[in-house]
Every structure is written in C-alpha cells, then in structure tokens.
Structure 1
Amino acid sequence: MKAPTLENESVKLSLLDLSNYSHLETVAKEKDLIFYSPSDISTPEKLRSYVQVAVDGYYHKTIIPFIVYDKKKESYAGSTRFGLINWKNKVLHIGWTWIGHSFQGTGLNANMKFLMLQYTFETLGFEKVEFRIDERNNKSRRAVEKLGATLEGILRKDTLMKDGFKRSTCCYGILKEEWPSIKTNLQNTIKNN
C-alpha cells in the first residue's frame, strides 16, 4: 500500500512517519489540543509512541497517517489519518485529527476533509466514511455535521480516557451516494474561506 500525498492550494497531507513527526513537537505541546482523545502527545516521547502506533497500522494496511502542512502559513499544523480501514467492506474512519490552535477556524480542516473524502470515494471507491467523536466534544461534532455527516448513534461509555473517565462516542457517517452533494457544499465552503 502506497500512501497518497493529498494536496490543494491550501494544504498538503503526506505520510506521517518516524522521519518527520518531530515537525509536530511544538504543536503537540499546546494545551488541551487533544483533550477529547484517549491518546497522549504531550511530550516528544509520547508523540513518538503515538506515531509508532500509526506506522505499525500503516504496515498492517489498517491506517494511513498524515502530517498536515498548511501551505498558506508555510508551517506544519498537525496530524490526521484514515483508520480502521476495512478493505473488504469498503469502510474507513477519518479521525485522530489535531491541528494547532492558530490553524483552527482558518478553513484548513475543511480543506483536509475535502481531500480525504474525495480520495476515499473517488480513488479508493469506498462505500462509507465514519467519524467517531467524544459526545462532549461539541466543536468537533458541529464540524462533522457541517460537512454533512449523519449521526448514526452513540456508543455509551465505550472508551476509557487518560483521566479514567469513560466517554460515550458519537458515530457519524457519510455514504458514497451522499458524497456528490457534500462535495459541492464543501467546495463552496473552501472557496469562501
């Protein structure tokens, strides 16, 4: 499996691995950047471990991790990935997304999601994209709903967080047949940013 490089005039997503993750060390230290995630990236060692898990998944063909480069700010912004890739059923998850606070609200995330959804549906020919979000994370929930994803259900108390809290996870989905109208809406959003 060869990882794609996904890019437009605003963002470049390329394979995240142990040779380039250090570009993210400063961003990863930002306070509460991944508060709603069970992962920990707060130190260089923890970030490296986080990336190692993604690299292992890449070699097992279940994850494609990306490092995010903001072309307008000429700076590395964070990370995102395709995960839980089910090649047989043609379903994958988009998530594990975090970008520095200064990149949030700039349209960068909409550009990232557009490229990832386009690749999933138009290149891979997958049937469905899923997003899993902490029920308490209203900012991320609104962002995914703005994309056009449908809330399919809530998994109650299914994930153990770093602080011992058992979170409930909202499951959102986009089907292949919904992509054309979502694509048009996202293109308009990107154009207006």
Structure 2
Amino acid sequence: MKVPTLENERVKLSLLDLSNYEHILNIAQEKNLIYYSPSNISTPKALKAYVQVAVDGYYHKTTIPFIIYDKQKQVYAGSTRFGLINWKNKVAHIGWTWIGHAFQGSGLNKHMKFLMLQYAFETLKFDKVEFRIDERNQKSRKAVEKLNATLEGILRKDTLMNDGFKRSTCCYGILKEEWSNIKATVFNGY
C-alpha cells in the first residue's frame, strides 16, 4: 500500500514509522497529552512500541499512521492515523490524534482533518469515516462536532484505560454523501 504525503499550505502528513518517530519524542512526553486515550506514549520506549503497533497495522493494511508537520511553525507537531480500516465495507476511523499543547487551538487539527477526510472520500472512495472519542473528552468531541460529524451513539464502558477506569466511547460518523456539503461549508472549499 503506497501512501502519499497529504499536504496543504498549513500541514504536511507523511507516513509515520520507526525511521522518523523520534521527531515527536519530546511532544509525546508533554503532560496529559493523551489523558483520554488508552495508549501510552509517555516514555521513549512506550512511544516506540506505540509506533511499532501503528507500523504493524500499516503492513496488515488496517492502519495508515501519519507524522504531523506544521508548515507554519516549521516543526513536527504530533501524530494521527486512519485505523480499523475495513476495505470491504469501505469504512475507516480517524483517530489516535495527538498534537502538542502549543499547536492545540491553532487551526492545525482542522487542516489535518480536511486532508484526511478528502483522502478517505475522494481517493480511497470510502463510504464512511468514523471518530471514536472518550465521552469525557469535551475538547475533542467539540472539534469533531465542528466538522458536522453525527453522534451515532455511545458505547457504554467499552474501553479500559491505563488507570483502570472503564470509559464510555462516543461514536461519530461522516458519510460519503455528506462530504461535499461538509467540504463546502465547514472547510469553505480549502
């Protein structure tokens, strides 16, 4: 599977792997960066294992992991990926997204999501993109709601967190027939 670099004037998303993950090592260690995630990236060893899982998924065609480069600030900002890719049903999840605190609220995430949604619907010809978010994570929920994603339901106590808490997960979705309107209204034709 050959993955192109996804890029616009603000952000560049290129394949994340074991040859480039060290660019985001410092960001991964920021306090509470992925508080609402069951993943662990808090140490160099944990980040490498996290990236290895993403790379393994890439080789099994179930994930496409990206390293995020902020072209405006000219620095690496974090990571995101397509995951749980179902090629038969043409459905993928966008998630595992984390950017350093300095990039949050800067518009970077919206540019990333545009590129990923455009790639999913226009290049891969997927029928649906899903987002799964911890019910308590209001910041991420609002960001996805601003994309006009529909809350489809809440999976109650479905994910065990690192601290032993069993979270509930909000499931949002965007359908391919909704994409052209979202592209024109939310992204104003980027």
What is the Cα deviation at residue 51 of structure 1?
A: 0.1
Other-structure match for 1:143? 143
Other-structure match for 2:38? 38
Contact 1:114–1:186, Cα closer than 8 Å, also in 2: no
What is the Cα deviation at residue 4 of structure 1?
A: 1.9
- Give the Cα–Cα distance (whole angstroms) in 2 for the partners of residues 108 and 183 of structure 1: 16
Runs of 4+ in 1 over 3 A off after TM superposition: none
Q: How does 1:1-193 map to 2 (within 5 A)?
A: 1-188=1-188
- Code of the aligned partner of 1:31: K
TM-score by length of 2: 0.98
- Give the Cα–Cα distance (whole angstroms) in 1 for the partners of residues 44 and 182 of structure 2: 37
Task: Calculate the aligned-residue CA RMSD, in Å.
Answer: 0.9
What is the Cα deviation at residue 3 of structure 1?
A: 1.5
Higher mean alpha-carbon deviation, 34-43 vs 181-190, is at: 181-190
Query: Structure 1 vs Structure 2: percent identity of aligned residues?
Result: 79
Contact 1:110–1:186, Cα closer than 8 Å, also in 2: no
- Give the Cα–Cα distance (whole angstroms) in 1 for the partners of residues 185 and 73 of structure 2: 25
What is the Cα deviation at residue 189 of structure 1?
A: 9.1
3-state SS, counterpart of residue 30 of structure 2? coil
3-state SS, counterpart of residue 121 of structure 1? helix
What is the Cα deviation at residue 186 of structure 1?
A: 3.0
- Give the Cα–Cα distance (whole angstroms) in 2 for the partners of residues 59 and 18 of structure 1: 13
Contact 1:134–1:168, Cα closer than 8 Å, also in 2: yes
Structure 2 stretches lacking a partner, 5+ long: none
- Give the Cα–Cα distance (whole angstroms) in 1 for the partners of residues 16 and 77 of structure 2: 12
3-state SS, counterpart of residue 132 of structure 1? strand
- Give the Cα–Cα distance (whole angstroms) in 2 for the partners of residues 174 and 188 of structure 1: 17
What is the Cα deviation at residue 188 of structure 1?
A: 2.8
Contact 1:65–1:82, Cα closer than 8 Å, also in 2: yes
3-state SS, counterpart of residue 120 of structure 1? helix
Aligned length: 190
- Code of the aligned partner of 1:27: I
- Give the Cα–Cα distance (whole angstroms) in 1 for the partners of residues 126 and 71 of structure 2: 28
3-state SS, counterpart of residue 187 of structure 2? helix
